[in-house]
């Protein structure tokens, strides 16, 4: 069973997942990074360019999903170093610090709140230009027009995007567009209409993009 709620950290979400023993799962690209707690371990899920297939590990998973582009400032690592990876937090922070944090979360009555507090203590003011970039691309604005609106050249935008999201703005736009489409389709919007409203050329274009990013056809994800 999966549950989530808005975090006290701006734009973030905290969640708990209690696998039902149904085997491997599938985590879709969403432009985000997560701080994870599982069986006494603290881990970081980097940004994905394709679906991440979990190994079906049992036990409770607790996570904090950062707003796109905000995790690197908290973790102290550019996002591209964690692209398509899951790593121990001790690979990024001093081992002694992580040991204390593991003990702190493990002893907490509410591991969700404890994990959230770790991120809050290291949070920095959000970069408004990155937030504007995400909002513009999520609304379907073209990358070039968005760069002009932000006063950034193509190379500068790509460099900043790689550091914040792990990949360039065009990949981020594709990921956000897929998430828009899935949200519409899960809400009952027919696929042909979903394709148009999400910004695809047509339904076959939607199908190709989803299969490439998610590893399954749209109908398979909805089912």
Q: Are residues 161 and 117 in the same domain?
A: no
Q: Are residues 116 and 200 in the same domain?
A: no
Give the up-direction half-sphere exposure of residue 70: CA atoms within 13 A in the CB hemisphere. 24
Q: For residues 125 and 130, what is the distance between their CA atoms, to the nearest angstrom?
A: 12
Q: Are residues 174 and 115 in the same domain?
A: no
Query: 18: domain range?
Result: 2-122
| Domain end point (choices 122, 154, 169) | 122
The residue written with tokens 């949070």 in the block is: 123
Q: Are residues 154 and 201 in the same domain?
A: yes
Q: Are residues 143 and 111 in the same domain?
A: no
Secondary structure (DSSP) of 177-204: HHHHHHHHHHTT--HHHHHHHHT-SSHH
Per-residue pLDDT of the chain in tens (223 residues, 90 and over written 9): 889 999 999 999 999 998 776 666 889 999 999 999 999 999 999 999 999 998 766 789 999 999 999 999 999 999 999 999 999 999 999 999 999 999 999 999 999 999 999 999 999 988 999 999 999 999 999 999 999 999 999 999 999 999 999 999 999 999 999 999 999 999 999 999 999 999 999 999 999 999 999 999 999 998 7
The residue written with tokens 């790509």 in the block is: 158
Q: Which CATH number is 85's domain given? A: 2.60.120
Q: Which CATH number is 142's domain given? A: 1.10.10.60
pTM above 0.85, yes or no: yes
Q: Are residues 45 and 147 in the same domain?
A: no
Q: Are residues 141 and 101 in the same domain?
A: no
Q: Are residues 69 and 102 in the same domain?
A: yes
**What pLDDT is attached to residue 56?**
66
| Domain end point (choices 85, 106, 122) | 122
| Domain end point (choices 88, 122, 156) | 122
Q: Are residues 163 and 200 in the same domain?
A: yes
Q: Are residues 47 and 97 in the same domain?
A: yes
**What pLDDT is attached to residue 27?**
92
Overall number of domains in the chain = 2
Work out whether strand 2-6 and strand 13-17 pair parallel, antiparallel, or are unpaired.
antiparallel
143-150 and 128-138 helices cross at what angle (nearest 10)?
A: 150
3-state DSSP call for residue 68? coil
Q: Are residues 39 and 137 in the same domain?
A: no
Q: Are residues 115 and 133 in the same domain?
A: no
**What pLDDT is attached to residue 223?**
72
């Amino acid at each position: 069973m999966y549950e989530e709620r808005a975090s006290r950290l701006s734009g973030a979400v905290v969640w708990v997942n209690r696998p039902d023993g149904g085997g491997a799962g599938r985590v879709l690209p969403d432009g985000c990074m997560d701080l994870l707690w599982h069986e006494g371990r603290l881990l970081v899920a980097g940004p994905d360019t394709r679906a991440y297939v979990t190994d079906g590990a049992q036990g409770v998973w607790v996570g904090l999903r950062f707003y796109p582009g905000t995790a690197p400032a908290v973790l102290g690592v550019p996002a591209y170093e964690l692209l398509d990876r899951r790593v121990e937090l001790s690979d990024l922070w001093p081992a002694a610090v992580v040991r204390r944090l593991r003990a702190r979360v493990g002893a907490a009555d509410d591991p969700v709140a404890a994990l959230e507090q770790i991120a809050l203590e290291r949070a920095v003011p959000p970069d408004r230009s990155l937030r504007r970039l995400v909002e513009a691309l999520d609304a379907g604005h073209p990358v070039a027009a968005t760069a002009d609106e932000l006063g950034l050249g193509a190379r500068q935008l790509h460099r900043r995007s790689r550091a914040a999201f792990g990949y360039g703005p065009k990949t981020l736009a594709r990921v956000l567009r897929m998430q828009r489409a899935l949200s519409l389709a899960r809400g009952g919007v027919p696929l042909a209409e979903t394709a148009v409203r999400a910004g695809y050329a047509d339904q076959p274009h939607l199908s190709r993009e989803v299969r490439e990013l998610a590893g399954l056809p749209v109908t398979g994800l909805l089912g």
